[in-house]
Chains A and B, each alone.
Chain A
Amino acid sequence: MTLQKHLIFTALGGIFLFAVTQQLEPFRNYQLATMAAYLCATAGLTILTGLNGQISLGHGALMAVGAYTMAFAQNGIGNLYLSLLLAMLATTAVGAIIGVAAARLRGPYLAGLTLAVALAIPAFTVTFDGLFNSEQGLPVSFTPPETLPIETWQALTAGGSALLVMFLLANVVSSRFGRAMRAVRDNEVAARLAGIHVARTQVLSFVISAAPAGLGGALLAFLAQNVSPGAFSLTLSLYLLLAIVIGGLGNLAGAVWGAFLLVALPDLTNSLTEGITASPELARKLDGNLALAIFGLTLIVVMLVAPGGLQSLVQRISHRIRKGRNHV
């Protein structure tokens, strides 16, 4: 039942993805691919923070781990799917290490630890610049197929990966492991007495949250054909967290909203700043900061209107429509 339902959703998603990529212009396909890459990370993070109650300010850094692994694997071996898999495995390992430490920490201390991770990993790439080539970063080379426009191919690859991630995460969420994560979040003592190993559950949550984040990072590197520390700053981690809160914490559909906003809002601010022709100086000042301001504003508005995030708003509206129809 669960499997069939998730398979049908995934298949529909796949058909939709294929149809859409054939219609969109190249730039929109590229944006779709970026959204899919972000979706991997937000979906993972929403499990960790929403279902298991562990905050992570370090998921941007986990994406960096995936991205750099992707660069090394792609430049060394050159098989795209193998590289994506390796990126995911490397991030899983890093996530497991952080998860073991995280399972001992609560609240602000956990935020502090993950913040340190977010700052340390990009700094790492600058310190060991012989290997990581400092701020310039590394190129990610690959040979696109000849039959498809490159953006279409990128959108299909990234979208397919995101669908796979969503399928697997949805399975975990509806299994006994998803239940254990929520139980640990709600009441640790009761969870232990119910026979749930709290620390193990927390580490598991971190691991299954880190793996898709690594895949997302690898996809970003694959899309940009380059990886540099600037792309994985602390701001990215904060954006991911904002995105899942706005989308609806602990909800995979909410993670889709979050990923959509991560791509749509900067795009919106770009067109806004382009529209302001008054002074080039003002436009330059706004350029970097307006996106963050709009994100903050969106967060405030969404929290006021729908504290459960955009997805809760959607659920409320669809519920009302269904009820209205029953009345007629």
Chain B
Amino acid sequence: MLNRYPAWKNITVILVTVLGILLALPNLYGDDPAVQISENNATLTDTTTTQVEQALNTAKLPYKSAVLNDNRILVRFNDTDTQLRALDAVKKTLGNNYSVALNLAPRTPKWMRAIGLKPMSKGLDLQGGVHFQLLVDLNAAVQTKLQRDATDIRGSLRERLIRYEDVSLSGDAINVTLRTPEDVAKAKTFISTEYPELTVTPGSQPNTLTARMSPQNIQQLRQLAVEQNITTLRNRVNELGVAEPVVQQQGGNSIVVELPGVQDTARAREILGATATLEFRLVDYTGNAVLAKQTGHIPLDDQLFPDKAGNPVLLKRDVIVSGDQLVDAVSGYDQESGTPDVSVTLNSAGAAKMGEVTRENLDKPMAVLYIETKTEHTTVNGQPVLVHKKVYTVINVATIRGIFSNRFQITGLAQDEAQNLALLLRAGSLAAPMDIVEERTVGPSLGQENIKQGFYAALLGFVLVVVFIALYYKIFGVIADLAVFMNLVLTVALLSLIQATLTLPGIAGIVLTLGMGVDANVLINEHIREEVRSGNSPQASIHAGYRRAFATIVDAHVTTLTAAVMLFLFGAGPVKGFAVTLSLGILTSLFTAIMGTRSLVNWFYGGRNLKKLPV
């Protein structure tokens, strides 16, 4: 019989509908403005919760609840104004050891959360926060690696008693100058075996060697550098205590960082952009640093650096231990003097080296060299260029009093210096310097405003469409309306399922798919009308109408999907969000228009003896 649907199709439609409603449901509850408190190195207890509650009561700031969960305290408020004032109050009470951040806490009921139902997360334009795009200087990563190799080679040659005159870096090549041809042969074998990524060739001068990296190795190193920077950024962002940060690679050499709820952009930028590392080196106490600076005659194994006051210090070229061998760094106070310090823990290789050097150099001075990379914008030939400048400062010179193991203290710092240094060291060093090339800050009130506007636009669009279609196609119009509504529910359900981030352009995408979703229904209904007009029976008209509209609907959807996929592949940020909602909307529209409406039409009209078809 015409227009009867097999049971499995009806069941599929019902199942998808129920599942869709269930998945979309969490989005109905909205969010509470909240303040989130976490601590970096310790577990939070109820004492802290009580402390926070007291602080809020004293400041007369009403809150909905304060709950300790997953080692973070979430305090919910009624409005963003109270939330902002509470942020200041809590920060003041708890002090520097806690991370206090703004957050949006979904009001989803417990049972939904228990079975893993979550609402879509909101983009920065809807909840406020900072968006950064950082460009990684990959050439610098290669330079740093070669620099380290050059230092290592120098040390190893000496250890193996291969006599060299100079090991230096020029461009992307390490030039090694040796004393005799025998040394050249020995050095060549040694470097080739110990550094397989370097290709060693005889240099232009006699008794010289040139070591270079192959293009493949350089490519690999670049990718590793980006990955390491991402890891480091994640660590740093975690230190900032942001609610749900996003750190991801974009393109070959860019990293996007999104910090929802963060308002203090200056601090965020400082922490993200800074590249600081430490080196421990011996001081050349036999040389005269002031004289060396004046004459420019620096002993071959030495380098000249300024200390914090700007006075020159002569340090040995060889690095005992550098920042990447560091396991942990905690700021605190020196037990004897009470001055701020940073307690450093090294890994085993670093500890061994440190132990060996301190044993051999007891009662001799050692320096801590602080290396910070700063970026500057300059113009070269009219083109804006970023220049990374390394700034070296000797922050501390102290006499080695004992044999260091894996733990020791760095002193001679101001309190905020100690805190920042500990944070940067703990968060790891960056493999390559980065620069912020894009920064977008959205205030929390603007986010609320955007949500309101997006919501009302969607509502108005929906109401207009629904009323018009119902008037125009009567019963078939109501069925089409149900389909468009289901289309909306299913799109939201899919977006929640993949935990997509909803942005304002994303809402626009949803609104637009409403219009497009109607198209399939219009096609079907126009075809049915046409069949009725040409004198076919009602049942045959329904059947033929759906049959003839089918291919057109598929073609129309596939072509629109082509554009949406391109938008996704090549768009950035907000455009991507738009493309995701548009694509999902197109897919759900295919389902609801073809299967969804047909099952309703068949259920309503199928098998009935119809004289007339009101369409």
**Does B associate with A?**
no
Interface residues of A, Cβ cutoff 8 Å to B: none
